[in-house]
Amino acid sequence: MVIEKICCLGAGYVGGPTCSVIALKCPDITVTVCDKSEDRIKQWNSDKLPIYEPGLDDVVKTCRGRNLFFSTDIAKGIQEADLIFISVNTPTKIVGNGKGRAADLKYVESAARMIADLATSNKIVVEKSTVPVKAAEIIMKILRANTKPGVDYQILSNPEFLAEGTAIVDLIEADRVLIGGEETPEGQKAIQELCWVYEHWIPAKNILTTNTWSSELSKLAANAFLAQRISSINSLTAVCEATGADVAEVAKAVGRDSRIGPKFLEASIGFGGSCFQKDILNLIYLSECLHLPEVAAYWQQVLSLNEFQKTRFTRKVIESLFNTVTDKNIAILGFSFKKNTGDTRESPAIHVSKTLLDEGAKLHIYDPKVEPEQIYYELTGTYVKTEHENIKKCVEIHDTAYSAVTGAHAIVLCTEWDEFKELNFNKIYEVMMKPAYLFDGRKILDHEALQRIGFHVQTIGKRLARTGSIRAQGSLTMP
């Protein structure tokens, strides 16, 4: 089979950018991205795309209407396609068996059932969503139990490794593409067909093929390893603050060992995003189901350390502000889980903001890409506007960082947006309450320069020397 038409179920952070890049690099293939959400598809077809991702607008503008289409007509998409990506969400279960840990596969299952109902010709079905090991078996069972005469399915696993904020570059210059399939001649043929799609721009040596279960597990393993590095360096921040070591210096020295490498060793207030926690919980649940409590406990510690880090940082803020933030104005700079995305899922800024609100603070939040409604949603758990009225009494969303910090007792920097490095802190110091506190949760500012201006500065993994101009009002170190 030559792949002429691809359909993708799920027009989210993965389906949208991935298929846009496939359309860009494969002008001979027609790509249709389908979603059951009319609103989302309307946005993909508008000038304001539903997600912010550097470079995405240009790719979509080049291909949309040419060989890239966004549609709610799932039936047509499925029927016409030779190959179907399943890129639906796989959140952590919130009820029932395995709640709080297992992945909820209801959207994957419903996508498989739609394909089974609607397909009238052979399909290669590709699991792109992140799933527990053996999830492809569920898709296989549903499809093969409902096969119509003359329709044959091959199921592949092709996990996605893009990171938000760098998705387009990650897709175009992928370190590797991973494709798992059945160890049968038909399975191997399907793998080769998907390889052919990627070979339009990915060197063949960077396309790894495995069996289905290795592919599924590799995705969980990659995220677990990445998150483990962050928890490892974050665990040392507490040691640095207590001893006078500087975590940036430690990370540099450790990362120079070519066996360890320098990437993903940035200490922070903790990792966020929709993937790390969810996928490690998934791995923990899998380990428990396989009666491997030691393995489960090992990965659980990566998550526990992350919670500890978020709590430790927030406690530091409160303790420094004389152990009370009641009625104090706190400016929160950055609300997304990392720079260059408007995504707030599991953002550490949510933990910081909720804790400060519980302690009675008034928050002034600024983020260059997160919509106010999204911030209110994260703080209330609902998009119902009338339910936001209460929180609006203590949370104000600002259009600029300067407006957010005016009259603030403290600034808490939660996301490493580049524009925060360019702020005029002399001007900011003037408009803040005194003593003026600044907590840099991302280690991106020039702390010595801030101290010279007069700020009381605290950061992660480094005990800052008190300069002459500083009259320390709170404890500078964590217990």
In 3D space, the residue among 269, 267, 257, 285 whose CA is nearest the CA of residue 229 turns out to be 267
Of the candidates 178, 226, 330, 350, which one interacts with ligand UPG according to CB under 6 A? 226
Q: Look up 26 and say whether it is catalytic.
A: no
The tokens for 221 are 């393993």
Binding partner of residue 367 among ligand UPG, ligand NAD, none, CB cut-off 5 to 8 Å per kind: none
Helix (H) or strand (E) holding 247: helix 247-255
Count CA within 13 A, CB hemisphere, residue 428: 25
Residues 267-296 that bind ligand NAD (CB under 6 A): 274-275
Instruction: Assess 34 for contact with ligand NAD (CB under 6 A).
Output: yes
User: What whole-number distance in Å separates Cα of residue 74 and Cα of residue 82?
Assistant: 14
406 marked among binding-site residues: no
User: What whole-number distance in Å separates Cα of residue 111 and Cα of residue 87?
Assistant: 9
Instruction: Assess 110 for contact with ligand NAD (CB under 6 A).
Output: yes
> The tokens 């792109």 sit on which residue?
128
The tokens for 219 are 């995705």
User: What whole-number distance in Å separates Cα of residue 377 and Cα of residue 397?
Assistant: 13
Span of 37-45, 273-281, 387-395, 430-438 interacting with ligand UPG by CB under 6 A: 273-281
Instruction: Assess 218 for contact with ligand NAD (CB under 6 A).
Output: no
By rule CB under 6 A, what string of x and - marks binding of each residue 115-144 to ligand UPG? ---------------x--------------
Sheet holding 207-211, edge to edge: 68-71, 30-34, 5-9, 83-86, 123-127, 153-157, 177-181, 207-211
Instruction: Assess 170 for contact with ligand NAD (CB under 6 A).
Output: no
Residue 399 Cβ, how far from ligand UPG at the closest point, in Å? 24
Instruction: Assess 363 for contact with ligand UPG (CB under 6 A).
Output: no
Of the candidates 36, 76, 452, 463, which one interacts with ligand NAD according to CB under 6 A? 36
Instruction: Assess 160 for contact with ligand NAD (CB under 6 A).
Output: yes
Helix (H) or strand (E) holding 355: helix 348-358
**Is residue 139 a contact partner of residue 129, using CB atoms and an 8 Å limit?**
no
The one catalytic residue in 275, 289, 394, 414 is 275
Residue 119 Cβ, how far from ligand UPG at the closest point, in Å? 28
Going from the C-alpha of 61 to that of each of 20, 28, 48, 200, 349, the distances in angstroms are 10, 17, 11, 20, 33
Binding partner of residue 440 among ligand UPG, ligand NAD, none, CB cut-off 5 to 8 Å per kind: none
Of the candidates 3, 37, 208, 232, which one interacts with ligand NAD according to CB under 6 A? 37
Span of 50-58, 107-115, 159-167, 382-390 interacting with ligand UPG by CB under 6 A: 159-167
Going from the C-alpha of 445 to that of each of 217, 265, 459, the distances in angstroms are 38, 17, 9
Binding partner of residue 236 among ligand UPG, ligand NAD, none, CB cut-off 5 to 8 Å per kind: none
Of the candidates 20, 30, 67, 129, which one interacts with ligand NAD according to CB under 6 A? 129
Q: Give the residue with the Cβ less far from ligand NAD, 23 or 317.
A: 23
10 marked among binding-site residues: yes
User: What whole-number distance in Å separates Cα of residue 372 and Cα of residue 383?
Assistant: 11
Residue 477 Cβ, how far from ligand NAD at the closest point, in Å? 36
Work out whether the CA dihedral 229, 230, 235, 240 comes out positive or negative. Answer: positive
All residues at 6 or more sequence positions from 325 whose CB lies less than 8 Å from its CB, including other chains: 317, 318, 356, 359, 360, 361, 409, 410
Residues 235-264 that bind ligand UPG (CB under 6 A): 264
**Could you tell me which residues are annotated as the binding site for NAD(+)?**
10-15, 35, 40, 88-92, 129-130, 164, 275-278, 345
Interaction site with ligand UPG (CB under 6 A): 130, 160-164, 223, 226, 230, 264-266, 268, 271-273, 275-276, 337-338
Interaction site with ligand NAD (CB under 6 A): 9-15, 34-37, 40, 74, 87-90, 107, 110-111, 114, 129-130, 160, 162, 164, 274-275
Which residues are catalytic, by number?
275
